[in-house]
Structure 1
């Protein structure tokens, strides 16, 4: 039987969301360099101690805690599938909406805020790099399952290439999200939307 979160847990989630929103909005208003942790705390109505209980740095509050992870259920299906390899590989990546679940507009504001600073953009991409090794192993296992008679070293090279392609696809999709935000849209971040974005990109190559 499921239980609802305790009042303490709900309070912690609400404070983290307030900190994220404050950090993003202040950067959009004043610029990344001008924003301090003290300013974020004042806007969010929390103490510095509360801030650092949730986020190690100003940058982490801006980017948010929702780092990409590998979807284990999607990975199990992917390994035994024979469908479109790259499209299905995009669905291995799960992006946690975090505070955006209670503030859908935060996604659009965050993309704009991160796009104002190359350091933030680089750190955002580092998050995808952190799971590249795991993605490569899953892709290699899929290739070994699908093509059991092929040379293992060749399959490892192919997995490496697909993993690099996947990283490029995700960068492209991130840039597409930023363009959507600039035009006033709020982009979807679910796996199906990511796959659809890939299909549109590949379609342009044909």
Structure 2
């Protein structure tokens, strides 16, 4: 373990100490660097942030940085490809009721690294994606790798209570089509959340011309607002 990683291993006063594995230490360092990178981009903008700035704020060397991330962009959007948490997937399939819109959107918003989602990091990244559409496009391309898994989960949810013997091929094909359509539609909704709303929370701060980061909405608030707008839009006559 190098000196940079040792900084992540020192527990705060009064904290309960448990044995850390090498994997734990790697994850802690990676998460610290990602949080620093995202925070700096929100403060200075993507183009103005350098690897040196990220290293300085994270308390690591450039050598350590490049052991974890290939590029500055990787630290900002996350090095690990998005995955679906198995627990969330089971909850989605077994969730009570037939209201799919909020459940599918919540499932898609929970797509993240294998270690689980850091909500603050997730919502801060949404703000960055809203301000830098090119980063959002790259993230959406990464998310398409798990769309087939999401589609299968939606298909299973739609088929709850159905008996295989009581269905014919057209019914099964129609359900597959529904699942694919809903999955791709929700990908677009997630993109809309980032591109349309998150920048609204960068507000001018007086005559100095600076910008202050207003309190960003929680993930639950963002999801609720999105679902409400979607419902009202779909209820417009003629759609």
Give the TM interval when normalised to the shorter protein: 0.7 to 0.9
Q: CA RMSD in A?
A: 3.4
Report the CA distance shift for 1:37/1:164 in structure 2 as closer, same or farther (over 3 A): same
Instruction: Note if 1:166 corresponds to 2:196.
Output: no
Rounded to whole Å, the distance in 2 between the matches of 1:22 and 1:175 is 22
Rounded to whole Å, the distance in 1 between the matches of 2:124 and 2:86 is 29
Report the CA distance shift for 1:141/1:79 in structure 2 as closer, same or farther (over 3 A): same
Residue of structure 1 in register with 2:232 after alignment: 204
Residue of structure 1 in register with 2:174 after alignment: 154
Report the CA distance shift for 1:7/1:90 in structure 2 as closer, same or farther (over 3 A): same
Report the CA distance shift for 1:134/1:23 in structure 2 as closer, same or farther (over 3 A): same
2:216 counterpart SS class: coil
CA contact (8 A) 1:66 1:97 kept: no
Instruction: Note if 1:42 corresponds to 2:72.
Output: no
Per the TM alignment, residue 139 of structure 1 is displaced from its structure 2 partner at its CA by: 1.2
Rg larger in structure:
2
CA contact (8 A) 2:123 2:218 kept: no
Residue of structure 1 in register with 2:209 after alignment: none
More contact order relative to length (CA 8 Å, sep ≥ 6): 1
Give the length in aligned residue pairs: 198
CA contact (8 A) 1:28 1:113 kept: yes
Instruction: Note if 1:188 corresponds to 2:202.
Output: no
TM-score (norm 2): 0.65
- Structure 1 residue runs of 4 or more that deviate by more than 6 Å after TM superposition: 7-10
Rounded to whole Å, the distance in 1 between the matches of 2:142 and 2:69 is 16
Instruction: Note if 1:33 corresponds to 2:47.
Output: yes
Rounded to whole Å, the distance in 2 between the matches of 1:170 and 1:68 is 14
CA contact (8 A) 1:107 1:186 kept: no
1:91 counterpart SS class: helix
Give the structure with the larger helix fraction: 1
